[in-house]
Structure formats: C-alpha cells, structure tokens
Amino acid sequence: MPEIKVTPLGAGQDVGRSCILVSIGGKNIMLDCGMHMGYNDDRRFPDFSYITQNGRLTDFLDCVIISHFHLDHCGALPYMSEMVGYDGPIYMTHPTKAICPILLEDFRKITVDKKGETNFFTSQMIKDCMKKVVPLNLHQTVQVDDELELKAYYAGHVLGAAMVLIKVGSESVVYTGDYNMTPDRHLGAAWIDKCRPDILISESTYATTIRDSKRCRERDFLKKVHESIERGGKVLIPVFALGRAQELCILLETFWERMNLKAPIYFSTGLTEKANHYYKLFITWTNQKIRKTFVQRNMFEFKHIKAFDRSYADNPGPMVVFATPGMLHAGQSLQIFKKWAGNEKNMVIMPGYCVQGTIGHKILNGQRKLEMEGRSTVRIILDVKLQVEYMSFSAHADAKGIMQLIRMAEPRNMLLVHGEALKMEFLKGKIEQEFNIDCYMPANGETITVSTNPSVPVDISLNLLKREMALGGPLPDPKKPRTMHGTLIMKENSMKLVSSEQALKELGLNEHQLRFTCRVQLQDPHSDLDTLHRIYTHLKSLLKGYTIQHVPDGTVMVESIVIKVSSSAEDPNNKVLLLSWSYQVESFSFNYIHSLLKF
Amino acid sequence: MKLYCLSGHPTLPCNVLKFKSTTIMLDCALDTTSVLNYLPLPLVHSPRLSKLPGWISKDGTINLEKKELLDLSTIDVILISNYHCMMALPYITEHTGFTGTVYATEPTLQIGRYATAHLMQLSFYSSNPEMNNFYHNNMKVTLYTFMSAFRLMTNLNIMIKNQEVVGFFLELFGAVQISPLSSGYSLGSSNWIIQSHHEKVSYVSGSSLLTTHPQPMDQSSLKNSDVLILTGLTQMPTANPDGMLGEFCSNLAMTIRAGGNVLVPCYSSGVIYDLLECLYQFIDSANLGTTPFYFISPVANSSLEFSQIFAEWLCHNKQTKVYLPEPPFPHAELIQTNKLKHYPSIHGDFSSDFKQPCVVFTGHPSLRFGDVVHFMELWGKSNLNTIIFTEPDFSYLDALAPYQPLAMKCVYCPIDTRLNFHQVSKLLKEVQPLHVVCPDQYTQPPPSQSHRSDLMLELQPPPMPYRRCSVLNLPFRRCYERVYILPELANSLVPSELKPGVSVANVSAILHSKDNKHTLQVTAPAPPSKKRKRVVEEPPVGGAPKPLLSGAVPLEPFLATLQKHGITEVKVEETTDGHILHLQAEDTLIQLEEDGTHIVCDNNEPLRTTIRDLVLRFLQKL
C-alpha cells in the first residue's frame, strides 16, 4: 500500500528552524529550510546529515519549498544549497523571493561581521542560492516534473506567505507554513479550497490560545503607548523589519493623525524605506481595503514615522521607536533596550512570539535581572525596571483558526509542527475528538508514516459509460446502485475499461461461442405448432419485460434462448422440446426456463 | 462539440464553445468602429461641426444582436483573454439572464474595469444625446449597468490567477479544466486551455512574441491540442512595431524642435506604457528634457499606478527591478522628475499648468469624444503641430474626416505587437494542433493587398474558417472518459495475461457519477434471499453476467482432460469445421469447432456443468 512519510528535521514539537521532509509517491520534498534563533551553535541549522551522510543533497530531493521569508523558515537555505550542496529547484512566491535575500544578508552580517563567526555562508552564496529559485504564483499549478505538482495558496502571515499543496497522482499533502486566519490591517486571511489532502501539516504556535478580538488588542496597544507617551516615557517596540512592523505602523499612524499627537515615532534600520517599498510594489498581496484605495492613498507612505538615528535614543522627552530584531536577541533593538531598561517610565512592548533563549523570552517570563555579554568577556548585570508588555500581534492562527482551516481543507490526517509539545498535545486531542481523524506531532528526526489508499485512474470507453449511465435513467438515483460490467485492458502504461465486445475487437481476438442444447420430454396432445404456441403464450404471461418472439420458422425465442418442438413418430403426444442457449445467458436459461416449462 | 461565432471581427472576438456539456464564452469584445459614423463631440458647441451632414461611412456591426444563434443565458462561464476583449461584458451580465462566472487574470480584470469605465465616462461626460443613443441603440447598456456588471464581477471574487479552475461551480467543471496561459500581448493578457483528460482545446487571442513589458508568451503549453482557435492577429501585418516606434520618436522630436505641439490619441493603458518607456530613453538624447508631457485621462493615475503592481505578470527584466525594490516601469521616474504630468481632464489643474510646445497623450483614439476633440480644435489649424496615430483600431483617415481641412501634420505609425502571419505559421508548426479554427479573414489575403499571399494562413490541413454567426462542428469525437477505480475494487480484480505486456481483467462494479466524476466500487453483496418466497416468480437477476469467450479448444488435450474426469468412451468424428465427440456412455455430443463449441446433453445437469467447466479451461474469458 502506498505511503506518505513525514520527518521534521526542525520545528518538530518546537518553534524555530522549520524544515520538514516529505516523501510522497516516490518524490522527496523539503518544506522550509530555517534557522533557530535560540541557538548559536550547530543546532542553529537543521541536521541535513539525516538525508545523506555523504555530501550533496541534489540526488535526494526533488524540490525545496519555502513558505515565507522569516528566517526560521529560510535562514538555512544558503547553507543547505551552497555549503551542503543542492542544485535542484527552490520554490517560493515573488515577494518571498524579493525579500528573502535581504534578510539573509542581514542575518549574515550580524553573525559574521558583528559576532565574528567564520565558516558561515557568504554574500555570494546567498546570490547563488537565489538563482535556483523558481517563483510561484498564487493558485498556479506548477509542474515540478511529470508527476509532482505544486499549488500555492494565500497564507496571510506576512507579505508573500503561502501555503502549498503538494500532489503526486491522487496523493496529496498540504503544508501551511505560518498562516493567519483573521485579516489584519495590512494583510488578508488565509484561504484554501476543499482539497482533501492525505495529510495537512499545520503550524501550531498558538495551539492553546484563543485570542480575543483584534479590535480589543489594538485598543489596548494604543492605550498603553498613549499612556506612556503622556507621562513622558519612551516606548520601544522590537519588531522584524517586515510584517508586524507595517501593521503597527499603520495603526500608530492613523492614531497619531486622529489624536493629533506630536511625539516622534521612529523606525530603525535602513530597511524601513525599502521594506515599505516592497509593500507598495506587492500591493496585490495585501488586503482588500489597501488594494482598493492604493491609487488615492498608499497606506505605506507614512507621514508621522521617520527614520531613526542611533543618537536619538538619548534625546529627552517621549518617543516611540520601532527597532529590529523582534526578539531582542541582537542588533539595534537590544542596544536601545539596554539604554532604556533602567527607567521605570519607559516601556517595551513585545508584539510577537519570542523563542526560548532570547532576551525577549526572558523578560516576558518576568526575569528582571539579565546577564549581558559585554564587549570583552566581562558580564554585566542589567536591571530591568521598565514596563514590559506583551501583545500578541504575531499573525499566527490561534486554536480557532487552526480548526477553521481543517474544516476548509478536510484532510484525512493531521500533522502538527512549529509549536510547543504540551500545547500540541492539547490541540491534538481536540482535533481527534472533533474531526475524528488521526493527528500526529512528530519530534525532530521522528518519521510519521501514513498509508494512503489512492484510487486507480482508468480510461473508460464513452460507449460503455453512456450505456451504463442510460441504464440508471435520466436522473441518477443514489439508492439504486448501477452495476456495470466491462473488461479492463492493461497495456504498458495505459488502462482502458471497455465492453467485452470491444475488448475482443481491440485485442484482435475471435469470439468463441459456447452453446448448449438439451432435450426435454413433454406430454402434450396438441399438434407441434399448437404446443409451441402454448409455450409461447405461457412464457409470455410469466416473463414480463423480456423479449419473447414467436418466429414463423417454428421457434420461440426468449432473449437469445431458442426453443423448438418436435414429436416422435411413434407417439405424437410425446413431444420433445429442444432448448438451446449460449453460455452467456446460462444462469438465466436452463434452470429457469426448464422450471417454467413444467406445466 | 460546437463553436458558435458571434463576432466576425478577427481582433474583437466573441465565440461560444460547447464542450462536454459546458458552455463557455471565449471573450466578449465590443466592436466600437461604428463610433466613426457619428460626429465628434466638442467641448463647446462648434458651428462648423454641427453644420456637417451626418455622414455614414459603412454599416456598424455590433456583435451581439444575433440572439437567435444561442440562448446567452445558458452560458456557464466567460473567459476573458485581455482587457480589449471585455467591453461587451456588461451587456451579457445584465441583459441576457447570465448567471455564470466571468474568469480573467487579475490585471485584465483591474485594468479592464477602468478601461471600460473610461469608455463609458468619456461618452457620458459629453452628455450628448446622440452618443447616448449610440450605446442605447446598439448595446442597451447604461452607465449604471456597466458599473453594476463590474460590481457583480467583484462580488463573485472571480479574480483568479493562472490557475486550474476547481472553485465555484464544481458540478460544472468536474468535466473540464480551464487554465490561462501568458500570451505576451498586454499586462495580464492570456490565452486559455480548455481540456478534459482526453481532449484539449486551445484558445489563442491577442498574443505577442515581441519583448515588451508583459510576461513572455507561453507557447509550449499549447502543444498537443486537438483544436486551436486562433483569433487576434496583428491588424497591421505590414507595419513593423519597432520601426513605427522609431518613426514616432523622430516625428515627435522634429515637431517639438520646430516649436509645434504633438497630439497622441491613445487608450489609457497598453501601448502607452511602451511609448513612455521609449520616450524615457529618448528624451535626453533628443534634448527634450524641458518639454512637458501630459497624459490626460479620467483614469490616467490609476492606469500608471496599476501598471507598477503586477510584478508577476511582467517580463523578467521588470520583475528583477521589483526585487530591488524599484518600480518596474520608468514612468514612475518621469512623474517624479515632473517630466510627465497626468490629469483626469483638461479642466482644473491642467489649464493652469499647460505650457506649449508640449506632447499630449489623450483619448479617445477614434477622435469622436474625449479631450482629444478639444485638442483637435485647438491645434488643427497650425501646420507646426502634429498628430501621431499609434492605435491600430480605427482608420485614421476616417477618424480625421470631420476635421478636414486640417493644417496640422498627420503621422500614422500604428503599433500592433500581436502575432503576424509569419510568426503564427512558425508557432503552429511548433505546437502542431490537429485542427485550427480561425476567422474567415485569415484564410485569404487582405482585400486591399490581394496579391500578398504571405498575408494569410496556409496550413495543412487547411484551417476551418468562421464568419459572424457561423456554427462550426469541431471535428473530434470523444471516445474515452476518466473513471477512478476505488482501492477495494482494484484489489479484488484478477488480471490474466493474454500475451506479454497485455493483461485483462473482468470488472463488475457499481458506477457512481457525481459532479462529472465517475468512480467504480465493489458491488454490495446480494441481500440474503428469503427462502419462503416463490423463487419461480422472479427471474434470477444480478450477479456478474458470463464473460465473452475467446480462443479454441484443442482436441487432444481436451480428450485427455475428459479422460482424467472419468469420461473414457469417446468416439471422435471429424467434420469439415472440426470434430464431433460422442460420449457414448452418457449419450452426449460435443461439437468442437474453431470458433465455437456446442454441447448437446439431455437431462444430465451435473454432466453438462462438468463438461462446460472443462471446456472453459481452454478458453480466455473477457
């Protein structure tokens, strides 16, 4: 029986370094190729030696699919393709293809230039890697080879995020990447059709959370920012350059305009302008409202939000600063955090999920004293006095959203990745209970095997099909099964289902007629002709709905059964019935007609 | 399979394809050439124009009056290939009882939406009863119906991208798959493939092989078509677009240098992007850096903005720019540097900014309505000025007729990037469709150049021509359909090998047909018969019928088999066709022939079945 195998190399009962291997219909596919923000050693990247111990991966993978540009989904891509070695196609959407290399370059700079690591991928490797990328359009069916096809759906998580349907023959898998089932201020909601995959591989970051309405969260957020500004505090919002940042910028921009606020809003890093530009050019990937109004007013042209300079951090008075990266694990956001942490008037708002091991994760868990790595090996203890707020703005589906997606796609099996084990366990129970399907949550390196039961596609001759359909009457009646009979001819790669007569013709065979004849003795005083006629009327009255013919040459035909009468010379009353039929009508004829003739 | 041809205009097609119980309309273009029958609509009353006799050049032909050909309400879907071919859409969606879906790529839909609205606005701005009549008489559409038609389109959320249609009307499309292919002609323009598992129809409309801004034409997907419907070839087979572009630039520069103005009547999207891109490169070298360029159209801004956001639909070079990220079209820079200015109309800001000499792009290319009429009145009298025609849809002489006598120079450089006859023959040679269907006009040289046998399609087998209102029977028979054998049934089948590589299996199964998808599954076990019932009453039905037999029964082995089963006294008699076996002890005859076996056996049912089974051993069952 055919099987689909799924093995996470990363993101199995964990968030970070998403990388899932799928074997389906003899094809091997890698879904995402991410890095882990919580580690700085080997564990940062997925363990590709699982695929092969000796070198290049090209022979072992048919394609690689990247769901979106977040580094935990694409951060290991140049390492995998250029350093481990992979020359096959890498599929991603246009916006992902545009933005991914920039984030990779950023990541490289931080690791190599700032932390001084060697043996890391180079800028050239990023470029070479991107040359292997084949762009995917939404809803476009892409043929990887003759058997393997892909189709991307809108996932809503960040600009260009996609869910992917992977199909080989009648077997299929859907990988969601990260997705969001509620539209936000700049993106639409994820959508998929009822594709009934064998396995739905879903993220489960917020497996146990059911979030309150977006409006409430937005109001809370604005209230907190506003209060802090009012009392003269500084607000730090660590974000990733693309994604939440734009949503929150739109939110603050409209709020500032409405409230006529004067406190400056800054956006760190040179990426801002560029990032917003991407949103302008890929406006078709944003939500309906922005798309509709972009000609009159482009939502990504901000009036109140200005570029940040390092020196502004020491300026007196209130301000709001968006700084990267979002988990406070390095870079500008961490620098500003260190500067502002000591003042209780200040505030840091964490708008997204923080991976274990990052400063963001620590302060969210209430840690108030942080050990920081200094310039040299000196350790500095940082007292955290500023207010720490968490607002879930990260665009992942919550438990309700995940259930909603299952309802949309109607998978036969469910597989959870990209979440914490305990939370997954809870969601797994809920899914199994509500949908009555198997739900898996493999750990990294653990293989899940799901056997599929694909139906066999066959070409049926239209004559046969139409004949069978006509039998059922003009309207199909689901209660009356229509049985059809035919011959399946299997020749090389083709399978044809035709009527038996056509099969004989196509195969160039002669039909062999098998006939039977039997004599039945009968006592009847009438003449031969009369006897025959009596048999005719007798059968006619019994067999309704059959063709019964009285042929002038002295035979009665019931369908294709021939009945003849003769009498012996000695005793005219002793009639002999000759019954002749072919093998094909045997079950109908002999026993039955014979029994009828005992009159 | 039938094709109903509602339009005889080769570049403004409207055909309906009936295929596997679906009815698909391929494009619904509106032939607006009859607008030339009317007088221009000036901004202010013009005594000269109003004194002209209302002249009729030729009969206007509008596509859709031949209703009796086909009930348009039975159309399931409409496929739009580019935004030039959707102007009659509102008529269909509003006045025919059409309840299906319209499919178009996103750029086609977005650009078509305002292009159509533009046409309506232009003609209604002028609020001239005559123009209103034009629409009323011919199309029975009002601005309202146009708008509501587009509302209908958005409501159905029919903006699909290059996709396999499995969405909204599954029961209809279980039968056929529809997918758009890039056609390279304009932003988002597409050809369509309509196929089932065994048949493939390609619809080619307005395609281009030139490298302009759109994504290149997908040619390879057109391969293996049973029928290829070919429309929308170039209207200017003798004009080379590159040459025309050069002529356009040089005439423009010459006029400006001499202190004159240039008027370019054009549509608000399409070729204008290429003209602007060409000028962007040309302006500095020709020292035109200070000349203002004006683009005046109610939808100028939308058109320029929209062109920048469809990266997926652009050629590779432009896509790469978006990755940087930079706007794909250089007109963004022209606008930023104030070289190009755009206005919704000549009222308002334009009148204060207006400086001469200048270049004005405005519509409508028929010169009958829109702001272009005003510029004709303004500049027509001076021989310093030039009007340059680039759109090929209207005869420029007819367009200019009501303005005669004209002093302004007139240059005709039509730019039509669609396939020419040479390109299309090469394409067809490559993709090799079994049959080609095309407008009648393509099967003979144009009437004005009847000696140019290179300006027609010559194919083997010859293409099937269509005229307006023809109904063609497309020449292929469907023989097979896809059916799915469910796993349980597949496992129960017993294949037997007839000869190496060929196996057969008897299939008796229940056929389920739903949404045009057919599946076969195992027959349910017969319900236990009630014994008390008189069996005689009902003839035994159900159960698999006996298979057909094939092969022959060889004499010697058969005798040996009989012997094994205890039938020893056999008298063999040779006949012309075979043998007769007389089983003496049982008084039974077996007649063995090449193509038949006859068993004559009285009142000995067990014997008969034994012999039958022995005979069957030697035969193949189908």
For residue range A214-256, list pLDDT tens digits in order: 778 888 899 999 999 999 999 999 987 777 788 888 889 989 9
pLDDT band of residue B106 (cuts 50, 70, 90) is confident
Residue of B nearest to A467 (CA): B511
pLDDT of A589 reads: 57
CA distance B63 to chain A (A): 32
> Which residues of chain B make contact with A137, given a CB cutoff of 8 A?
161-162, 312
pLDDT of B188 reads: 86
| The pLDDT of residue B433 is above 50 | yes
| The pLDDT of residue A376 is above 80 | no
Could you give the ipTM of this predicted complex? Answer: 0.79
pLDDT band of residue B355 (cuts 50, 70, 90) is very high
Q: What percent of chain B has pLDDT over 70?
A: 82
pLDDT of B68 reads: 64
Give the span between the Cα atoms of B55 and B39, in whole angstroms. 8
Lowest mean pLDDT among A52-56, A573-577, B525-529: B525-529
pLDDT of B147 reads: 45
pTM surpassing 0.90? Answer: no
Instruction: Please check whether residue A585 touches B, CB under 8 A.
Output: yes
Question: Are A295 and B301 a contacting pair at CB < 8 A?
Answer: yes
pLDDT tens-digit readout, A288-315:
788 778 877 788 888 888 888 888 888 9
pLDDT of B123 reads: 53
Instruction: Please check whether residue A475 touches B, CB under 8 A.
Output: no
> Which residues of chain A make contact with B504, given a CB cutoff of 8 A?
487-490, 503, 507
**Which residue in the set A294, A455, A489 is minimally distant from B485, CB to CB?**
A455
Query: Best of A490, A496, A594 to disrupt the B interface by mutation (most B CBs within 10 Å)?
Result: A490
Instruction: Please check whether residue A284 touches B, CB under 8 A.
Output: yes
Mean pLDDT of B256-265: 94
pLDDT of A593 reads: 65
pLDDT band of residue B58 (cuts 50, 70, 90) is very low
pLDDT of A272 reads: 64
pLDDT tens-digit readout, A314-359:
899 999 999 888 888 878 888 899 999 989 999 999 887 787 778 8
C-alpha neighbours within 13 Å on the C-beta side of residue B148: 10
* A523 φ, ψ (degrees, to nearest 5): -100, 120
Q: Report which of A360, A279, A275 is spatially closest to residue A325, judged by C-alpha positions.
A: A360
Which residues are within 8 A (CB) of A500 and not within 5 positions of it... i.e. 6 or more apart?
A485, A486, A487, B506, B547, B548, B622
A50: DSSP letter: G
Mean pLDDT of B157-173: 36
pLDDT of A477 reads: 60
- Greater confidence, A416 or B394? A416
Q: Are β-strands A133-136 and A90-93 bridged in parallel, bridged antiparallel, or unpaired?
A: parallel
Query: Best of B108, B299, B322 to disrupt the A interface by mutation (most A CBs within 10 Å)?
Result: B322
pLDDT tens-digit readout, B272-315:
999 999 999 988 888 888 899 999 998 899 899 989 988 888 99
pLDDT tens-digit readout, B474-519:
887 788 888 999 988 988 888 888 888 888 888 888 888 877 788 8
Give the span between the Cα atoms of B544 and B537, in whole angstroms. 21
Lowest mean pLDDT among A514-518, A537-541, B3-7, B416-420: A537-541
pLDDT tens-digit readout, B233-254:
999 888 899 999 999 999 999 9
Active-site amino acid positions of A = 203
b/e sequence B445-470, b meaning 16+ C-beta within 10 Å: beeeeeeeeebbbebeeebbbbebeb
pLDDT band of residue B162 (cuts 50, 70, 90) is very low
CB-CB contact of B341 with B294 (8 Å): yes
| The pLDDT of residue A261 is above 80 | yes
A455: DSSP letter: P
State the average pLDDT for chain A: 86
* DSSP letters for A83-123: III--S-EEEEHHHHHHHHHHHHHHHIIIIIIT---S---H
Question: Are A485 and B179 a contacting pair at CB < 8 A?
Answer: no
pLDDT tens-digit readout, B584-620:
877 888 888 888 888 888 777 788 888 888 888 888 8
| The pLDDT of residue B339 is above 50 | yes
Residue of B nearest to A456 (CA): B485
Lookup: tokens for B432: 């090799």
pLDDT tens-digit readout, B474-484:
887 788 888 99
> Which residues of chain B make contact with A596, given a CB cutoff of 8 A?
536
**Which residue in the set B106, B518, B540 is minimally distant from A587, CB to CB?**
B540
Residue of A nearest to B318 (CA): A281
Alpha-carbon torsion (B48, B49, B50, B56), positive or negative: positive
**Which residue in the set A140, A488, A507 is minimally distant from B161, CB to CB?**
A140
The position carrying tokens 């699909």 is B160
Instruction: Please check whether residue A300 touches B, CB under 8 A.
Output: no
Query: Best of A295, A515, A546, A581 to disrupt the B interface by mutation (most B CBs within 10 Å)?
Result: A295
Strand runs labelled E in B89-199? 101-103, 177-182, 190-195
CB-CB contact of B70 with B25 (8 Å): no
Mean pLDDT of A515-540: 81
**Which residue in the set A457, A485, A519 is minimally distant from B544, CB to CB?**
A485
CA distance B483 to chain A (A): 5
